[in-house]
Structure 1
Amino acid sequence: MRSDPDRVLLSRARRVMALQTAAAITVSLLVLGFLALIVVVHSQNTATTKLLKQTAATTDDVNDPPPDVWIFKQHPDGTVEASEDAPEGLPDHSVLDRVRADGMPVTTTIGGREGGYRALTRLRGDQVVQVVTSRHEQHDELERLLGALAVGEFVGLLVALLSAALLARRATAPLAQALARQRHFVADASHELRTPLTQLHTRAQLLQMDLRAGADLANVTSDVDHLVTGTRHLGEVVDDLLLSSQLSRRDDARLPVDIKAVAADVLANQADRAEAQEVELGLRAGTAGPFVVAGHHAALRRVLTALVDNALSHTPAGGHVRIDVGRSGATITVVVRDDGTGFDPADTERIFARFARGGDHDQRRFGLGLALAREVITGHGGTIEAWGRPGHGAAFTIRLPAAAGGDTA
């Protein structure tokens, strides 16, 4: 079974984002840990140096030194006086001799277990004093710090991986949805275009056959009429597709639009079709005008065209389609109603989905018209609601904010 290329691409993008984010967090933790280690080592060395200098400057004898500190004094005759319990290997006689020779104080590190020792050797009078302190506490502290940093880095790496994976999934979720919508849209649009194209091809073949057979004009008129109707349907689908692609890119420049005038224009353009179907069209407007909104004339006209077209498609001969325009305060209301076949109330929201189908016993397709109607109305700051009952018609109610001033351009 072949993998979905989009799914593979998204999975790869998520992995890359997760690894990059985790790596960035891990490096940040390492830098922070390294800086903390530097600060601790510097603090230890500073404290140790201060202790050695104070002890060397103030000590009068080798007795009672601070904890973990030993004092050694070398007399002019070379004998060395040492604190009790001095570790083996101390003092450092080579350093004592060097300081006695050149008189310069020296700070050295003496090797040993658990960090060794730190020593300060200086000349004091005719004596050379060497103060030595153990570094095992600093050594233990550094080991604890390194252990804590290692655990912290490990835990941080796990948290970074989990967080990065979650963030990557969330970051790519809109892309996954967009790709899914794109696939569905292309598939549905192709299906929607296939029917009128197939009909046009069939009618063109029939017309070609009639013309080659020498049929007179009267016999081919019906085929020509069907061709014209088919091209109109195809043009409507293409218009819907173009409007769909332009909605997200439409600029914010809006002009006053008289909804009543738009409704009258739409009904006038649908008059021939309604007459052919023996459906009565009507327009009723309230007295609380003007009915002006701020918006895009072409888009709003397409909305009303889609709603009237939908109403005519589902209204049998002898039925009625009417547009009611009204105003309540700062809200303009437009209702497109018919007394046709209606629809199941359970489909009230679903019919606004792109290329939605009817329920189990209703094989109608609603195309792009109703979906685009909602997108356009929502983009104008309004709402659109549907009402319907099987056999009792349908009504679509649009509410739009009235334009300030109320005068059309």
Structure 2
Amino acid sequence: MRRTDSPDSRLIRRTMLRIALQSALAVAVTVALLCAVATLVVLNSQKEQQNSLLDTAIQRADDVSDPPAGTWLIAQRDGVIVASPGLPKGLPDMTALNQGIAGTEDYRVHEREYRVRTEPRGDIVIQAVLDLRSAHEERGRLLQGLLIAGAAGLLLAALTGAWVGRRSVMPLVSALALQRRFVADAGHELRTPLTLLSTRAQLLQRRVRNSPWESDVDGLVEDARQLTAILEDLLLAADPREDAPRSAVDLGALVRQAVGAAEPAASERSVRLEVEGDSILVLGYEAGLRRAVNALLDNGIRHARSLVRVTVAREGRRARIEVADDGPGIDTAILPTLFTRFASAPGDGAPGERRRYGLGLSLVSEIAARHGGSVSATNPDSGGAALSLSLPVQSATSR
């Protein structure tokens, strides 16, 4: 039987991996910098020691028979060259020796590197040669030790990052699980009354056929159907396991339906609703987009004095739904956080008014983000407030 991982397990793994990689990368950069600095310090120190050793060998050279360990001395007088025993083949540096000019350079012979110091002393030119093999071996051991320490540091950082990531994400996972359980429980409890409401509305619809209340009851049936669809969309949005397939949604038709459903609420407040715009197709979830439009309409109706104008327009490769009211506008203190949860203006808790919890517009923002869109709010110069929902239009390749 194939075992499938839960969303929580996948979230924990992704977070652990991300933090582990970030920790390992930070350690890798640090180790690389430390290695570079340590190598430069060692190279400079070795070079100073080597030059000091060559200077000392030349200054104390009474003859070439007893040079310091690892060095050889060569002396030239009147064309006669005398060298220390065991001088490697290919040495001395005859060019520097014949020129008799003081200087130091690295000299390579048969894949071996030497440092050669030439210095004239009266009628004698002395050349000191130092074998750099021991310095290279010391440098190699240093780099090997740094690499081993760096690899161990990387492994330790990755393990520590994974452990810290798991500890950090567990509270988030618990909160998300609690949220999903709440939505699932609430959805389960709402299904039964919604089903009964829809059934009774349909029975009433059949009884009032060809009566003055037929249109109102038809609207009630449609509202019950839309409420059920909204509940399903809420449950889907709270379940991260899979996404429902998106479909083409006619924004123009959806907005007109939403405006029609909002007419009774607008009439109670003596607010007139106007809608204009053509059909524009977007790829998304109809129930979710309907929730967003309903929230924008509800906000406009609550704050309008007499008019709410809804516009559906296309701007390049995006569709825009704008809901503008002729109310007092949006408080500038709340405008930057208007689409965050529990943002409310100071007057929202006035006596006699239904308390606002600041969730409607934040849900609009979340639905917009779910569809790759955005929301914005402004106070036009003409007065009132204008809230806009921008969505990408359906492309030809996505049909």
* Rg larger in structure: 1
TM-score, L = length of structure 2: 0.47
The alignment's TM-score, normalised by the length of structure 1, stands at 0.46
